[in-house]
Structure 1
C-alpha cells in the first residue's frame, strides 16, 4: 500500500506544480472573461434604466387610432401626433392608416408645425388623388397658408398685408381655387369662396404696392408690368383701380401718350366715381386727361 501510494504521489511531485499553475491560469482567464461579460450586462442595464418601455407595443390599429382621437379631443396635439405616427408606421395600409394621414395634417397644424402639416397634405394628395376627403385636405391646405398671411398677423405687426411676401397668399389662393373648381358642392366650398374674395384683392394689392415702389423709383417699365399683372389676373378686385392709375402715370412719364390715354379711358369707364378721376389734378403728373 505504501508503494502504491508513493507511486501515485510520485507524478504529482514531479509535474504537479506545472498542472496546478496551468489550471490557475485558466481559471484566472475564465474569471476575467466572466467579469467582462458581467460588466457589459450591467452597463447595458444601466443604459436602459432611463428609457421607459413603450406601452403601445402590441396595440391594434383600432386602439392606436382611438387613443389618438382621445388626445385630439383634449387638445393634446403632441401626444396625438406621436400615436398617429406609430399607427402609420405599424399599419401602413387600411382605413385607419388613411384616416391617420388625414388627421395628422390637422394635428401638426394645431401643434404649430405648419411645414410638417403642408408636407403631410402634399403626401396625401400624391397617395390618394381620388380620395373622397380630398376636398377637406385642399381646404386645410388653404387655411394653413391663409392664416400664415392673414390680416390677423398684420394687426399684430402693423404691416399692410399687401407689403408682405405673397407666397403664402398665392398658395392659399391656389388651394381654395382647386377646391371650388373640383368640388363645387363640397361643404367647404362656401367658406373657400369667401376667403378667395379676400385673397384676390390681397394679392392684387401686393402687385400694386410693388408697382407703386417702382413708380417712386422711376422704374416706369417695371411699374407698368406689375400694374398690368393686377389688372390682367385679378379683374374686379378693388386694387385694379389704383393699378390703372399707376399705368396712366407711368406711361405719361415715359412719354407714351397713346398708352396713357388708353389706360385712362379704361379707368374712367370701369371706375367713374374714382377719386383718381375726380381729383382732376395730380401733383406729380399735371392735369388729368379728360379724354373720355
Structure 2
C-alpha cells in the first residue's frame, strides 16, 4: 500500500515538472514561434554577428521562406549562405551561394558569393588519394570566377587555389602510375607514366616519371618472351637516352645508364639464344624430314621382276 502511494507521488511530481518545463519556453523558442518577422530578422542578424550560428541558422531558415520575393530576401539569402559556411556545411553553403548569384546576378554581393561557392568546392576537395571529382569541380568553378571577374581582387587568390588543386591532381596521377610499377604491372605502369606526362607536361614529378618509365619498360622487357625482348629492351634504351639528354644533372643518371647498358647486353644475349634455338630447330626439322623419307622408302612396295 505504502509502495503504491510512493509511486503515485513520484508520478505526480514528474507530471508537475513536465508541465513546468512546457510552460517555461526560452525567449528564443518563443520568438521563433511568434509571427513577429521584424524581430526575428533583427535577432538572426544579432546572433550571426555574435557567432551564434546554429541559432541564427534556425531563424534564417524560417525567414528566407517568409520573405521570398521581397526586397529583404537578398540580404537574408546572403546571410543564410554564410551561416551554413560558418557552420562548416560547405555543400549546403555552395548551393546557397550559387542560388544567390543566379537569383541576384546584379547584386554588389554577387562577386563575393560566386567566389565563395567556388571556395566551398575547394574546401571539399579531399586528400589526393581519394576521388577527385570535387577537385575538378573546384578548378572549373574558380576558373569561371576568374573569367567573369578578371579584375577582381580575388582573381589572384583564385588562381593560387587552382595551382594548389592541380598539384593535388598531379600527385594523384604520379602515385597511381607508381603503384602499377610497385605491384609489377609494368606495361600498365609505362602507359600510366606517359599519360601523366602528357596530362601534366609541366609537372614537378616529370623527372621521376621519366626515370620510373625506364625502369618499368626495362622490367616489362625482362619479363617478356625471348621473341619480344629485343624490341622491348630497345624501347628501354630509347627511354634511357632521352632521360640522360633531358636531365643531364639528375641523380638518376647512373641508374639510367645502367638500365641502358644492361638492356644492350640482354639484347646480345637474347639474339644468341634465339640464334641457337633456330639452329636446334632447323636440325630437329631436318631429322624429322629424314625419318619421314626413310619411313616412306620402307613402306614403298618393291615391284616384281620378270
Using structure 2 for the length normalisation, give the TM-score. 0.60
Q: Is the 8 A contact 2:98 2:114 kept in 1?
A: no
- Tell me by how many angstroms 1:89 deviates: 0.2
- Tell me by how many angstroms 1:238 deviates: 0.8
Query: Which stretch shows the higher mean deviation, 254-263 or 242-251?
Result: 254-263
CA pair 242-167 structure 1, distance change in 2 beyond 3 A: farther
Query: Which residue is 1:187 aligned to?
Result: 153
- CA deviation digits over 1:222-241, x for unaligned, max 9? 33444344323333231233
Correspondence list, 1:138-217, <5 A: 138-149=114-125, 161-217=127-183
CA pair 199-108 structure 1, distance change in 2 beyond 3 A: same
Q: Is the 8 A contact 2:211 2:256 kept in 1?
A: no
In the alignment, the residues of structure 1 paired with residue 191 and residue 205 of structure 2 have an alpha-carbon distance, to the nearest angstrom, of 15
CA pair 189-270 structure 1, distance change in 2 beyond 3 A: farther
- Tell me by how many angstroms 1:210 deviates: 1.1
- Tell me by how many angstroms 1:202 deviates: 1.6
- Tell me by how many angstroms 1:205 deviates: 0.5
- Tell me by how many angstroms 1:128 deviates: 5.2
- Tell me by how many angstroms 1:188 deviates: 1.1
Correspondence list, 1:128-139, <5 A: 133-139=109-115
| Root mean square deviation, CA, Å | 3.7
Query: Which residue is 1:119 aligned to?
Result: 95
Query: Which residue is 2:58 aligned to?
Result: 82
Query: Which stretch shows the higher mean deviation, 133-142 or 192-201?
Result: 133-142
- Tell me by how many angstroms 1:206 deviates: 0.9
- Tell me by how many angstroms 1:64 deviates: 5.0
CA pair 178-71 structure 1, distance change in 2 beyond 3 A: same
**Alignment match of 1:97 (pick from 73, 76, 80):** 73
SS in 2 for 1:254: helix
In the alignment, the residues of structure 2 paired with residue 82 and residue 106 of structure 1 have an alpha-carbon distance, to the nearest angstrom, of 13
Task: State the 4+ residue runs in structure 1 displaced beyond 6 angstroms.
Answer: 45-48
In the alignment, the residues of structure 2 paired with residue 96 and residue 179 of structure 1 have an alpha-carbon distance, to the nearest angstrom, of 26
In the alignment, the residues of structure 2 paired with residue 277 and residue 130 of structure 1 have an alpha-carbon distance, to the nearest angstrom, of 59
- The number of aligned residues is 232
Where in structure 1 are there 5+ consecutive unaligned residues?
1-44, 151-160
SS in 1 for 2:218: helix
- Tell me by how many angstroms 1:220 deviates: 3.1
In the alignment, the residues of structure 1 paired with residue 90 and residue 99 of structure 2 have an alpha-carbon distance, to the nearest angstrom, of 14
Query: Which stretch shows the higher mean deviation, 110-119 or 51-60?
Result: 51-60
CA pair 270-203 structure 1, distance change in 2 beyond 3 A: farther
In the alignment, the residues of structure 2 paired with residue 244 and residue 174 of structure 1 have an alpha-carbon distance, to the nearest angstrom, of 29
CA pair 234-76 structure 1, distance change in 2 beyond 3 A: farther
Using structure 1 for the length normalisation, give the TM-score. 0.62
CA pair 228-96 structure 1, distance change in 2 beyond 3 A: farther
